[in-house]
Amino acid sequence: MDLLTEFSTALRTDSERPEKLALLLGKLIDPGLDVNSYVRRLDELADQVEQSMPVGALGRARAEALIAVLHGEYDFLGNVENYYDPSNSFLHRVLDARLGLPITLSLLYTAVGRRLGMNLRGLGLPGHFMLEYSDMNGVWILDPFHGKVVGSEELSYYLTQIFQQPIRISVSLEQYRTTTDAWILRILNNLRSVHISQHRLADALKVLNYMVIVDPEEANLWRDRGMLHYGLENMLLAESDLWRYFLLRNRLHLFTGEAEMVFSGVAFGGWMPEAEQEPTQEDQRVLFVLKRIRDEIRRLN
């Protein structure tokens, strides 16, 4: 089974275990990675943490105990000095080095906490990833990167202090809760950004291959992958991905260059179906690249 097929299968069968999916992403840099051995390491870590947790602790005390053990005793810390190191985005590397990003450390905490019966949810907050912990005594927010626990009413002030600029959380925490798919996509997007900033287009393309599996209906992912194929001179694959981009946006007429408008649905209340709208500035940028792709294909053939 190839890596993408293995990941796609796990995405359907392990949606309740985002750590398993995150470990499979580790094969991007370590193709021979023994994922099950790291799953066992998480099991063992949870057993060790449970022995260090105070018996009967609930509420904020339980949240602070989890932070105290994983952050204080086991030294799982935020990698402040090398924040943009790609290793920070791979859970197996985080387990090995005990350094990571807010999102990967939060994933580790969630994996351990679930094994201890703790109800932890990922929160994609403005500029920072944290965790929501709830039990019969209330709700608390954990910051694995900085090793802190705050009450939900303290969250805006806490984030303001971290970023030294006003941040106000004015909606329900439910708005920030992260599904497994969204969690994995955020990790992948972090990786993609790092690779592109370092001009490692081939590595960024490998990441996009996973992203389109997680969210195949997101048109912009196909556009971005098509652009990477173009940058790597994979012209036929680039054209294919841009076809999918325009198809998902219901603007296939732009791709084909046909005059007729291709769309489904009816305009209501002055709303104009996307296919009837004039090409946007982004459409024009993509079409310019598409023309160059087709020119190159014709030249080669």
Quick one: pLDDT at residue 22?
A: 97
Quick one: pLDDT at residue 270?
A: 42
Quick one: pLDDT at residue 14?
A: 79
Count Cβ atoms below 10 Å from residue 41 Cβ, excluding itself: 14
Residue 179, CA distances (Å) to 75, 174, 183, 228 in order: 27, 11, 6, 27
Contacts of 70 (CB under 8 A, 6+ apart): 49, 76, 108, 109, 112, 144
Quick one: pLDDT at residue 272?
A: 45
Q: Determine the angle formed by the axes of helices 235-248 and 219-231, rounding to 10 degrees.
A: 160
**What residue has token string 């600029």?**
165
H/E stretch holding 130 reads strand 128-135
Q: Hey, what are 13's tokens?
A: 């069968």
Burial bucket for residue 112 (CB in 10 Å: 0-12, 13-18, 19+): buried
Angle at 106 between CA 70 and CA 95, to 5 degrees: 60
pLDDT in tens, 208-248: 999 999 999 999 999 999 999 999 999 999 999 999 999 99
Quick one: pLDDT at residue 39?
A: 96
**pLDDT < 50: residue spans in the chain:** 259-272
Query: What's the predicted TM-score (pTM) here?
Result: 0.90
Quick one: pLDDT at residue 243?
A: 97
| AA identity, residue 121 | R
Quick one: pLDDT at residue 172?
A: 86
